[in-house]
Structure 1
């Protein structure tokens, strides 16, 4: 899957937030010599005003920070909207001349609540971003890659919650389970075009989102009747390697999957968990 004499071009969604998996993936791909387009919502999340989404300033900051590593371009995109997604693909091609790698990283964590209390809007938002968004981005990318005719790579950031149902995460799990099924189906369809399609399934990743108000630490520690620090220590005891994943750990896996070394891997969902047991 050679793009000719120039570098390959990658698009990473959900890459604006400082300390995030998406920004780490973009950095890894830049270090590996790819030209990278980063995208994120670029404004408030209209259907969930309480969720602190990455805004235009975050996207600019990410572009400026990553610019020291290589050739990076930033474009806003709401992955729930087909028009935005097509504009992202077209913008990448206009800027760099082609499109070789898609990393479906955009995600969010809302509706961490028992099913009997789960708001329908939160359910739909999880599915819209992390299932429909993966479909829309992958479809647009696949069309461009097929037209180019020399293969490509699609990687979706799923989760251990795509393989194991977890309390308070029914909407999130449903979206991630859907993404894995889609990955397997798409791998069959795109194999004849030399396009590989895989997923990375992180365990607990130490990002700022874990500690936000209403987030994992707050909800799960309250459910267990312990402090947030006690809950964090409890999580660490479930990980044989003795630490949480970092965004760079996830980025390393993505870097491998889009490298020549992974050319014969498709339709897989690779765990990056430190051996964590999920309950």
Structure 2
């Protein structure tokens, strides 16, 4: 599959321009940059003067986000167009190489923040629909994780942060297909973290609870179980710099999911979670 990268924007750093940008500026690649959490995280990086490359499908939306990030202090806010969930192994490898070059040959932080919620009831009977959810949430995301892990291993530095979900901690009738894809991603990132620990790079899976975003527009919201994109973004940003392999967002979900995971089946199966 052919994936089109946008031409180099005027704010991007070329070899000739590189001396005009602080060499201490962090380079950040964001896959799924138009998601609410990704945009909120990008704003935190922008305030630090980072050089950002935003990847997604919708050029107009990405351009608006990039312009806003420049106003907020980003040294560079560039875009690349890609349907991240519909890729081949070859296209993934090619694009990671191209994007790394556009960021100057080294990527400090990579955030993978795209996905689809899907509709559990439809996916249970429509296998094509189920396959589409799995392709976007796990198969494609796993390829991006492996490709950027190779880059970080070569650099012997940098951090991969992947947005997972507490839904992956235990299969529940309301969203077990979505949860299964996030569970698979969780184990993949854990393995990558183990691999990268030998060379000084890191990988982190951040597991939010429900977030008030367009993705959850059809759900009843409110109450202590819900978070905002800004609150989760702050946790994502901290996780890129320090902490363990698995980070719950917010932290209370670690204890909530601990209880849910260890509920006996006889009790759990009487619930409607």
Question: Normalised by the size of structure 2, how large is the TM-score?
Answer: 0.76
The answer to whether the 8 Å contact 1:201/1:270 transfers is yes
Which aligned runs of 4 or more in structure 1 are off by greater than 6 angstroms? Answer: none
1:24-43 correspondence runs (5 A): 24-40=40-56, 42=57
Alignment of 1:267 onto 2:245? yes
Cα distance in structure 2, aligned partners of 1:153 and 1:73: 20
Q: 1:193, 1:59 → 2: CA distance?
A: 33
Listed as ranges, the matches of 1:188-207 within 5 Å are 188-207=194-213
Instruction: Summarize deviations over 1:13-50 as a string: whole Å, max 9, x none.
Output: 11125xx111112112222332111111x1xxxxxxxx
Aligned to 1:251: 233
Note the C-alpha offset of 1:205. Answer: 0.6
5+ residue gaps, structure 1: 43-54, 218-230
Distance 1:84 1:249, change over 3 A: farther
Partner of 1:232 in structure 2?
221
Deviation, 1:139, is 1.6
| Correspondence for 2:134 among 127, 136, 139 | 127
Q: For structure 1, which segment, 188-197 or 71-80, has the greater mean C-alpha deviation from structure 2 after superposition?
A: 71-80
Secondary structure in 1 aligned to 2:202? strand
Question: For structure 2, which runs of at least 5 residues remain unmatched after alignment?
Answer: 1-21, 258-272
Of 193, 209, 216 in structure 2, the residue corresponding to residue 187 of structure 1 is 193
Counterpart position of 1:144: 151
**How far has the Cα of 1:164 moved from its partner?**
2.9
Distance 2:71 2:84 in 1: 27
* Mapped pair 1:6 → 2:24: yes
Give the whole-Å Cα distance in 2 for the aligned partners of 1:257 and 1:269.
7
Q: Under a length normalisation based on structure 1, what TM-score does the superposition of the two structures give?
A: 0.74
Aligned-residue offset at 1:180: 0.6
